[in-house]
Structure 1
Amino acid sequence: MTETRNIKGTKADKIVNGIAKWLTKIGISLAGSRILAVRGRKSGEWRTTPVNPMTYEGQRYLVAPRGHTQWVRNMRAAGGGELRLGRKAEPFTAVEVEDADKPEILRLYLKKWAWEVGRFFEDVNAESSTQRLLEIAPGFPVFRIQGQ
């Protein structure tokens, strides 16, 4: 059975996310941040959240540090969305990455963004063993993204 994670943010998270979302919306990226826009699986309306896209071995990825959240469920249903920065919107398609292929992607993600999202990974960090990263992989969805 796949472990599911859906960690709610604190009030501080909501404030920081709000600031990050606002800055990205006006065109200021924080360490490569973007606004992810995905159509709601039930409403069909655009839903947005700040994300940290990254590149690993020439491919771009989105990692869900809070687990199987609404944006993850919407992405699975929609198969893609947009990455936005200011007025620029980059449409993309997404393919979910298999758990066995996640360890090095998660390691790089933690190297780059542990300062922001590390607490969601509990006792795991960029120096954790590959075996440990494989153990937690089901709780952290990862999508490979490609421009359309």
Structure 2
Amino acid sequence: MAHYIEPGRLEARLVHGTVGRLARYGLSLAGTQELQVRGRGTGEWRPVPVNPLDLGGERFLVSVRGESQWARNLRAAGAGRLRLGRGVRPFRAEELRDEEKPPVLRAYLRRWGWEVGRFFDGVSARSGEAELRRIAPRHPVFRIAVDG
């Protein structure tokens, strides 16, 4: 069974809803933006707050909760949009193989471990390479390239 940690109703409503609304109005908390990706079944745009990571001249999205709906939708669509205020940036996405993920996961945990560390099974930015490889299959990671 795929690994996924579902947010509680209160967290989804208060935290995700508030952070997503702030991003829509142009206010980013610690780099948060609104990811918009088309649903697999409906084709409708689905919004969710995310923390895009810039690393080595590239940009990545990490699904901290595992096989989330947004990760499944992005995998199927291969593209989405990032929004901050009025700025909407379409992008193409490529999922990383598990062996490519450790440096991205380490950088992500270095930047946002204080916020999302509880979803990484005790692994932190200071953990060894073997520990990062162990959790890599549980966290989809996408390299994104902004169109235009």
**Same fold by TM-score greater than 0.5:** yes
Residue 137 of structure 2 is matched in structure 1 by 138
Contact 1:82 1:90 in 2 (8 A): yes
Contact 1:4 1:138 in 2 (8 A): no
TM-score of the two chains, using structure 2 as the length reference = 0.95
1:5 Cα deviation (Å)? 1.3
1:16 Cα deviation (Å)? 1.4
Contact 1:75 1:94 in 2 (8 A): yes
Residue 93 of structure 2 is matched in structure 1 by 94
Q: Deviations over 1:73-98 (max 9, x none)?
A: 10011101000011110000000011
Q: Where does 1:9-88 land on structure 2 (aligned, <5 Å)? A: 9-14=7-12, 15-88=14-87
Residue 119 of structure 2 is matched in structure 1 by 120
SS in 1 for 2:7: coil
Most deviating of 115-124 and 64-73: 115-124
Unaligned segments of structure 2, at least 5 residues = none
1:11 Cα deviation (Å)? 4.3
Separation in 1, partners of 2:29, 2:4: 24
Separation in 2, partners of 1:96, 1:81: 13
TM-score of the two chains, using structure 1 as the length reference = 0.95
Calculate percent identity across the aligned residue pairs.
50
Taking only aligned residues, the RMSD between alpha carbons, in angstroms, comes to: 1.1
Separation in 1, partners of 2:87, 2:126: 36
Q: Deviations over 1:2-58 (max 9, x none)?
A: x72110113453211121111111110111111000011110000010000011111
Separation in 2, partners of 1:5, 1:118: 16
Code of the aligned partner of 2:110: K
